[in-house]
Amino acid sequence: QVLTKIIGNKRVQIDDKNIISSGFPNIDISNFYYEIISSEDTNLISICRKSHVDEIIQRYISNKLNVIDFSLGNSKISSAIEFIEEPNFYTSNAMIELSNQTISSIKIIND
């Protein structure tokens, strides 16, 4: 349910809306949650429909679990990159390639 794109950061992006529209043109961002991880060379953009995320959060709440934060797709891995020494590594559903301590690609693995 999460779409992720990596786009070059060759020109200066003014704000989140410009970054998102460069990766997902003509999207109505009011219907989506998004997360942007920026580096010097790239922007990692992940989006998911608000209705889908809200439904999942409601399931947690109905089971008396509090949600204090969420991250979309493999975006959260960016906070651990400085500790990863390998150029390629795997998460539960993707192979992530690094270049100069920056995510250069995310390849979804379908079982």
**Tokens encoding 45:** 């953009």
pLDDT(9) > 80 = no
**Tokens encoding 89:** 């590594």
61, 79 Cβ separation under 8 angstroms:
no
**CA-to-CA dists, residue 70 to 34, 53, 78, 96, angstroms:** 11, 9, 14, 20
Spatial distance between the Cα atoms of 75 and 60, rounded to a whole number of angstroms:
21
pLDDT(11) > 70 = no
- Tens of pLDDT, residue by residue over 29-80, are 999 999 998 877 788 899 999 999 999 999 999 999 999 999 998 888 888 8
22, 8 Cβ separation under 8 angstroms:
no
Q: How many domains does the chain have?
A: 1
- The whole-number pLDDT of residue 10 equals 59
Could you tell me the pTM of the whole model?
0.80
- Residue among 60, 38, 45 nearest 2 (CA): 45
Q: Which domain holds residue 86?
A: 3-108
Please compute, for residue 39, the number of CA atoms within 13 A of its CA located in the half-sphere on the CB side: 18
Residue 41 identity:
D
